[in-house]
Structure 1
Amino acid sequence: MMKTDGLKEFIAGNADTYLFGGPKLTPHIEVKMCFGQNGYDFELAATEDGFFLINNEKRHYYPYNATKDLGSGNFNPELLNDRHGSVMNTEHNASCYTYNAITSWKIYHFHDTSKEAGMRRYNDQAHGAKLFMDGSNIAPFLLNVKKSNIDAYNEMINALRLVIPFFDDFILEPNDNEKLRLNWRQKGLQDYPMRPTLLSDGSIRFVCLAAALLQPEPPTTIIIDEPELGLHPGALAILAELIEDASRRTQVIISTQSPALIDHFGIEDVITVNRKNGASIFKRLDEKDFNVWLEEYSVGELWIKDVIPGGYSRRPCS
C-alpha cells in the first residue's frame, strides 16, 4: 500500500481470496494500528474486478486528540499525499511518522542457504545500505556496517564466535568489479581464506540473524520467520539473547515452532495462535494463569504437554 499502485500490484485481481470465506461472509478487512502517539486506520473492500478499494482511511495524533479523515474509495492510500506536511506536532506530521514507520518494517526469511542462495554468492558492493529480507546481500551489508559503525560490527563478530568457536573474522574485500562475497578466516589459519560455501547452513543462517538483530539502525519492526531452523541447540541461548537485546531498541516479532527457543523467554512474551470457528485468534499468555505449572515445568515443556493453548501436539500455527 505504501507505494503508488503497490496494493493493486500485490493483489493482482485476487482480492476475494484475502477475505475469510469470500466477500459474502467477510465484506471487508478492517485494520487499526498504533505507533506510539500516532494511529492509522483503514478498510479494504473488494471490487467486482478483484481489487481492493481503501475506505474509511484515518490517521490520528493522540496527544492532541487529532483525527483526520483521509477519505474512501481510493486505490492508493491518501496517506501518501498527506505525509508531505512537515510541521511538528500537527496532523500532517502524524501522517509522515506513520508512513516512515510502516515502510521501515522488515520481514527476514533466511531459509534458503543452498549453494545458489545469494548469501553464498558475489554481490555488488553498493547494495549494503540495508539488509535484504533473504540475506542475499549479507557481505555488502557487513562491509557497510564495518565502515560506518565498527562497534556494531564487533558485536556481530563476538556473537558469531560464541556460536562458531573456530570462526575468526570475515574477509570483506571487493574484487575489481566491486563485488564481494562472505569469505572468512578460521582461527589458526590466517593465510588460508575460507569461502562462504564452507559455512554450514546453520552457521551462515546465524550470520544473517546476528546481522539483522544487531544492526545499528534497526527498522521500527523486525519480523523473523522460524529463526531456529538448522541451529545447534546451544546456539538458541545466544539467539534468544540477541532477540532480547534487539527488543530493547525496536519491536521484534518472532514466529517459531521451537519449544527450546521459547524456554529462554518469559511466558508473557509468548503469543499463541489458535483457530476458533475457522478464524485465527492471537492471544498473549498471562503468567498468573500458569503460576502453578511454572513451578515444575518450563514454558517449552508446557507447550509440548499442551497446557499452553495451541499446544505442540496440535501443531500450532506459529
Structure 2
Amino acid sequence: MSAIHTLSIAGFRSIRHLENLQLSNLNVLIGANGAGKSNVVAYFRMLSELVEGRLQVWVSKQGGADRVLSYGVKETSALTTSVRFNDNGYDIRLEPTVDGGFVFVSEALYFDGLDAGVTRPQLGSGQLESNLKREMSGGVSQKIADFCYKAISGWKVYHFHDTSDTAGVKREGAVHDNEYLRMDAANLGAFLYRLQNESPNHYTQIRKIVRLAIPFFDDFVLKPRELASEELLVRLLWKQKDSDYALWPSQLSDGSLRFICLVTALLQPNLPTTIIIDEPELGLHPYAITLLGALIRSASKRAQVIISTQSVALLNEFDIENLIVVDRENEGSVFKRLNKQDFSAWLDSYTIGELWQKNILGGRPS
C-alpha cells in the first residue's frame, strides 16, 4: 500500500513545524482563510516536482527560496520533510542557495525491516536535484527508492478553478495526450475519448453522474479532427437531451464544467496513489456538492484522498474522524485530528458543518 501513513514538514511557508501527522484514506482539511490549508496542497506539488528532478524550476516559479521558507531565509534556515508509507519512507533537508534556489543538505530513504531493524540509506548531499531516480537505476537501495518514487510520482494534485475562455479544458488538444488526467484537466476531451473507447463502463458512469447534477446534459461529443500533419485533435463538446447539436464547453456554467472535471478525476479507472484537491466545492450547486461528497467517499476506498474545503455542505458529507483542523498559532499553522467521542453529545443535536460554524471543532470558518 503506497498511501501516506505519516507526514512531517518544517520550514515550508506557514508550516513551521508539523510532526508525524497521521493520514488515513480520507482526509478533509478545514480552517479559516490563511490558516495554511493551501500550503499543504502546495507541499504535495513541490515534492512531486522534486522527485522528477524539477525542484529548481519549481522554486524559481515560486519567486525563490525566500518565498518558500517560513517567513523567509532570515527566519528559517532549512526546509525538512519526512514521508512514511508504513515500512518505507523518504527524508530530505534543503537549505537556500545564494541565487535563490535550494541545495540538498541530506536526502535519505527509510526502511523498517522489522526483525532486522530500521535502515536509513543515504542518497547524498550537495546536489541541486534529487538522487532518488538515480538510486532506482541500480543503487543498493533500489527497491526502497523504487517504492518511494512510485508512491510520490503517483500523487496527483488537481486544481480545476480556471474555467476562463483561455483555459486548457476549453481548447482543442492532441488525442494522444490521454495517459492520465492532467492537473488542470487541460486534456479532458482526450482523456474522456480514451475512456469512451477503452473503458466504456467508467465512461458511462461518469456520464450518469454528470446527468444527475446537470439535468439537461445528455452526452459528450468527442470527434477527433485530423490536421494536415495527420495529428488528431479533439475538443470537449457536448449535447443536450433531445438534441444532436454539439455545444461548446463555454456554453456550460463554470460550476458545471468544474463538476465534470471532478467526476472524471474521481471515477477514472486507475486512480492515483493519492489524490489532492484544494476547495473542490468552488461554484457547485448544493446538490452537486452532495454528489461530490459521495464520490470522494467512494474514491477513498480505492485510493488515498486529501481535500481542503471551506464548504459547510461538503463537510456534512464526512465523519468527524476524517477531519484535520488547521489553525494559526504563534504565526504558524497547526494541525490536529479530532476524537469523535469528545463531540458525541454535540453530534446528537448538530451536524458536523454546524459544529464548525459554531467554532466547536476549531479552525474557525471565515
Higher mean displacement: 259-268 or 46-55: 46-55
Q: Please list the CA deviations of residues 34-57 of structure 1 after superposition, one character each: whole Å capped at 9, or x if unmatched.
A: 124310011111123322111231
Distance 1:166 1:49 in 2: 55
Counterpart in 2 of 1:72? 125
Match for residue 261 of structure 2? Answer: 208
* Identical residues among aligned pairs (%): 44
Which residue of structure 2 lines up, in the alignment, with residue 245 of structure 1?
298
Q: Tell me how far apart the structure 1 counterparts of residues 167 and 71 of structure 2 sit (CA, whole Å).
A: 37
How far apart, in 2, do the equivalents of 1:196 and 1:293 lie? 44
* Structure 2: distance between partners of 1:23 and 1:205: 37
Secondary structure at 1:143's aligned position in 2? helix
Instruction: Look up the match of 2:223.
Output: 173
Deviations 1:164-195 (A, max 9, x none): 12222111111233212111222222x32222
Alignment TM-score, normalising by the size of structure 1:
0.91
Confirm or deny: 8 A CA contact 1:209 1:227 kept in the other structure.
yes
Distance in 2 (CA, whole Å) between partners of 1:69 and 1:156 is: 45
Structure-2 change in CA distance of 1:188 and 1:108 (3 Å): same
Answering whether residue 260 of structure 2 is matched by residue 198 of structure 1, we say no
Contact 1:40–1:59 (CA under 8 A) maintained in structure 2: yes
1:237-256: CA deviation from partner (whole Å, max 9, x where unpaired): 11011101111111111111
2:65·2:72 contact (CA, 8 Å) conserved in 1?
no
From 157, 165, 180, the equivalent of 1:115 is: 165
Q: In the alignment, does 2:89 pair up with 1:44?
A: no
Question: What aligned pairs does 1:16-95 form with structure 2 within 5 A after superposition?
Answer: 16-63=66-113, 65-85=118-138, 91-95=141-145
Question: Secondary structure of the residue that 2:202 maps to in structure 1?
Answer: helix
Moved more, 114-123 or 294-303: 114-123
Question: Which has the larger displacement, 15-24 or 152-161?
Answer: 15-24
In the aligned structure 1, how far is the partner of 2:226 from the partner of 2:72? 55
Of 260, 272, 275, the match for 2:328: 275
Write the deviation string for residues 76-98 of structure 1: whole angstroms up to 9, x where unpaired. 22212111239xxx831110111
Residue 136 (structure 1) aligned to one of 186, 207, 231: 186
**Residue of 190, 195, 208 corresponding to 1:145:** 195
Q: CA deviation at 1:59?
A: 0.5
CA contact (8 A) 1:66 1:91 kept: no
Task: Spell out, residue by residue over 1:108-165, the C-alpha distance to the aligned partner (whole angstroms, 9 max, x if none).
Answer: 1111112222212222212122111111111101011122211111111111111112
Give me the whole-angstrom Cα distance separating, in 2, the residues matched to 1:75 and 1:192. Answer: 54
- Residue equivalent to 1:183: 237
Equivalence for 2:4? none
Greater CA deviation, 52-61 or 134-143?
Answer: 52-61
Give the conservation status (yes or no) of the 8 Å contact 1:8–1:75.
yes
Contact kept, 8 Å, 1:85 with 1:96, in 2: the verdict is: no
For residues 196-225 of structure 1, the C-alpha deviation after alignment (integer angstroms, 9 at most, x for no partner) is 222111111111000111111111111111
Q: Which residue of 2 aligns with 1:290?
A: 343
Structure 1 stretches of 5 or more lacking a match? none
CA contact (8 A) 1:60 1:91 kept: no
SS in 2 for 1:290: helix
Q: Give 2:362's match in structure 1, choosing from 291, 294, 309.
A: 309
- Whether the 8 Å CA contact 1:61–1:91 is kept in 2: the answer is no
Higher RCO (CA-CA < 8 Å; seq separation 6+): 2
| RMSD, matched Cα | 1.7
Q: Does 1:257 align with 2:316?
A: no
8 Å contact from structure 1 (residues 104, 219) kept in 2: yes
Tell me the TM-score normalized by structure 2. 0.80
Q: Is the 8 A contact 1:111 1:205 kept in 2?
A: yes
1: distance between equivalents of 2:71 and 2:257? 41
Secondary structure of 1:80's aligned partner: helix
Describe the SS at the equivalent of 1:54. strand
Whether the 8 Å contact between 1:142 and 1:153 is mirrored in structure 2 is yes
